Amino acid sequence: MKYCSNCAAPVVFRVPTGDHLPRFICEQCDTIHYQNPRIIVGCLPLWEDKIMLCKRSIAPRFGFWNVPGGFMENGETVEAAVLRELWEETGATGSIMDLHTVYTNTPLHQVHLHYLVQLDAPKWILTPESSDIQLFTESEIVWEDIAFASNLFVLKSFFEDRRKGIRQLHRAAHPHLEIKEI
């Protein structure tokens, strides 16, 4: 950041009085420009004994499989953002079941919230974001073709819970993937 978005004056990067982290500060209008983690929302769409995955037709990780998800928008609830991302990537609709994982990607300044979603029907359409969409059993997943570590965590946690006959909230932090149940 070079200029204040409030008054357009140059900013400096220093620790404000009473704070403990450096921030971009406008010395002209005294605005402190905080930079906070981005919220990524996603879902694991379920139909009978299968889960839905989408093959990415956009960067990053073009051509790899992932669960539907993306950046939360201002003015949305988390749940509305989850269902919007499902629709944008697959044209599918569903109902929110439970929050399944909280995944912190510290290097990218992101917090991922993934929900389990019961699909209304096994219907979808290809979109600009997804070149292929399929329902998978656990044994059908090509694990090395999964796009992101957060997706691996979502999937592995889900199938582990299914084997145990439980449903619980999971937490992890990238890059260590220390799994902790809540």
Q: Measuring CA to CA, which residue among 77, 59, 55 is closest to residue 67?
A: 55
pLDDT at residue 175, as a whole number = 72
Q: If you search the block for the tokens 């990238």, which residue do you land on?
A: 174
Domains of the chain: 1-35 (2.20.70.10), 38-181 (3.90.79.10)
pLDDT, tens only, 1-15: 999 999 999 999 999
Asked if 93 and 86 count as a contact pair (C-beta separation under 8 A), the reply is: yes
Q: Measuring CA to CA, which residue among 128, 175, 119 is closest to residue 148?
A: 175
**Which of 10-20 are b and which e, b meaning 16 or more Cβ less than 10 Å from the residue's Cβ?**
ebeeeeeeeee
Q: If you search the block for the tokens 């220093």, which residue do you land on?
A: 14
pLDDT at residue 177, as a whole number = 54
pLDDT at residue 60, as a whole number = 92
Q: What is the mean pLDDT of the chain?
A: 94
Gap between the Cα atoms of 37 and 163, Å rounded: 33
What percent of the chain is modeled with pLDDT above 90?
A: 92
**129 conformational bin, left if phi > 0, alpha if psi -120 to 50, beta if neither:** alpha
Q: Measuring CA to CA, which residue among 32, 30, 26, 173 is closest to residue 112?
A: 173
Query: Would the pLDDT of 45 be above 80?
Result: yes
Task: List the single range of 42-51, 70-79, 108-117, 171-180 with lowest mean pLDDT.
Answer: 171-180
Gap between the Cα atoms of 169 and 156, Å rounded: 13
pLDDT, tens only, 64-102: 999 999 999 999 999 999 999 999 999 999 999 999 999
pLDDT at residue 37, as a whole number = 93
Query: Would the pLDDT of 19 be above 60?
Result: yes
